[in-house]
Structures are given as structure tokens and as C-alpha cells.
């Protein structure tokens, strides 16, 4: 199956097709230099596109999720999907759907599931990453934690991708936008064009200041 055939599959999830294609293109480029990592596997929609990109370049994707759903996916909340309830426990469990997606796409040797809270995995992580895609919990605390514990693992030249950035608060929560601004304001990243709500930042090469850090330097001298 190629990526054009992948586009015909409808995944449970929250990504527009052009956003998903951007994940594919960036992971194909980045994964030549090191593993990619996503926070927020859900049912495997974004992992499918990232995984296709990684596979073409001979790389891998680590995909982290506790598979218990975010706040907004719980019963009674806006993005609740009753298909994802485990009848035995009455709790959300996205792992069976995620595994089915990865198996049916033949991505078993490319997409490595990690079933855990993101911050727990990060405590013992040492491998440098070529791309980090943050699409886990959307509260300020969750988004900030994900940014804070993972960003130092990104290789110089690597991509930091953040989903659900809404400039207008009437259109969506502001936590992803907040960590995007935080990353940009650090002076470590250059800003690349967004695709809809997908923010794309690139970590500056070692020793190369970004425009933002040059501006800050100028302000203080």
C-alpha cells in the first residue's frame, strides 16, 4: 500500500488530510536521522501517516498513549465515542483499535506502541529524537508537561510538531498554542509554515541562533 491508498482509509481521529500528509512528509525526512515519537496514539490515525513516512526512510516511530482517552473523550464529553468503551470495565480503551490499525497496515516493525503516561516514559528516556509530535492531553498541565519533559530529547535540526493550535480561543482550547509560543520564545526553534492547526517548529542546528534569539540578544545589548 502506498500513501495515496492510505488516504482512502477513514481513521477514527481528529486530523485533516493535509495535516496527516504533512506528518508523513516530515517523518519521512526526519526519520533518516533518528527515531520519531508521538504522544497521543488514540486509534492510530496519526501513527499511520507518521509510520508510513518512517517506513519509507527505514526509521521507526515510538507512539505513546495510556489508551484511557483524554478528558474530552470520556463519557458525556464532547469527543466521546461509545465504540471505544470496553464493555468489561465501562472505561475507554483505544488500544484494540490502535493495534488493529497498525496490524492491518503492516506497520508492526515500524510503529512501536508504548502504553503509559507520557511523563513516566520520559523519566527514563535517553535516545535522541528526530521528530516529536505532541497530541496528548489538551489541558494546560498536560500540554506543558509533555513539552517540558520531551523537548530536550530533540536533535538539532529535528522537528517539534504540535496539533490543535487555534489562534482564536472561540475555535478551541489554548494549551497547544501556549506550548507552541513557549517553544518559539525559547529562541531554540525556527517557525515553519503551519498546516491548518498543525504547528511546525524546527530546532536550530547546534550553535546556530534562531531569528528569535538574535532579536533577544539585540534587545539586551
Contact residues: ligand SAM, CB under 6 A: 13-15, 39-40, 42-43, 45-46, 64-70, 94, 117-118, 135-137, 142
Identify the active-site residue in 138, 153, 163, 220. 138
Give the shortest CB-46-to-ligand SAM separation in angstroms: 4
Contact 62, 40 (CB under 8 A): no
C-beta of 67 vs 203, nearer to ligand SAM: 67
Give the shortest CB-71-to-ligand SAM separation in angstroms: 8
Using CA atoms, how far apart are residues 9 and 44, in angstroms rounded to an integer?
12
Q: If you write DSSP's letter for every residue of 83-109 in order, what string do you get?
A: GGEETTTTEE--HHHHHHHHHHTT-TT
C-beta of 43 vs 188, nearer to ligand SAM: 43
170-182 in b/e burial notation, b at 16+ Cβ within 10 A? eeeebbbbbbbee
Give the shortest CB-119-to-ligand SAM separation in angstroms: 6
Using CA atoms, how far apart are residues 192 and 186, in angstroms rounded to an integer?
15
C-beta of 94 vs 174, nearer to ligand SAM: 94
All three cell numbers of 54: 518512517
Annotated active-site residue 153? The verdict is no
> Catalytic residue numbers?
138
Amino acid at each position: 500500500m502506498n500513501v495515496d491508498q492510505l488516504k482512502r482509509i477513514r481513521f477514527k481521529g481528529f486530523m485533516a488530510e493535509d495535516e496527516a500528509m504533512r506528518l508523513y512528509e516530515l517523518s519521512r525526512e526526519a526519520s533518516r536521522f533518528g527515531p520519531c515519537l508521538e504522544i497521543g496514539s488514540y486509534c492510530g490515525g496519526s501513527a499511520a501517516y507518521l509510520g508510513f513516512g518512517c517506513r519509507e526512510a527505514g526509521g521507526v516511530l515510538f507512539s505513546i498513549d495510556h489508551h484511557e482517552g483524554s478528558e474530552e473523550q470520556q463519557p458525556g464529553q464532547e469527543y466521546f465515542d461509545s465504540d471505544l468503551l470496553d464493555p468489561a470495565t465501562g472505561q475507554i480503551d483505544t488500544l484494540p483499535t490502535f493495534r488493529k490499525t497498525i496490524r492491518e497496515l503492516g506497520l508492526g516493525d515500524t510503529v512501536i506502541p508504548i502504553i503509559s503516561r507520557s511523563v513516566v516514559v520520559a523519566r527514563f528516556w535517553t535516545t535522541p529524537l528526530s521528530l516529536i509530535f505532541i497530541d496528548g492531553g489538551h489541558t494546560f498541565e498536560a500540554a506543558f508537561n509533555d513539552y517540558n519533559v520531551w523537548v530536550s530529547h530533540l536533535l538539532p535540526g529535528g522537528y517539534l510538531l504540535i496539533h490543535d493550535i487555534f489562534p482564536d480561543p472561540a475555535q478551541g482550547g489554548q494549551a497547544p498554542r501556549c506550548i507552541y509560543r513557549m517553544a518559539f520564545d525559547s529562541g531554540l526553534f525556527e517557525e515553519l509554515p503551519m498546516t491548518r492547526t498543525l504547528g511546525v517548529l524546527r530546532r536550530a542546528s547546534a550553535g546556530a541562533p534562531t531569528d528569535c534569539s538574535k532579536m533577544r540578544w539585540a534587545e539586551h545589548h
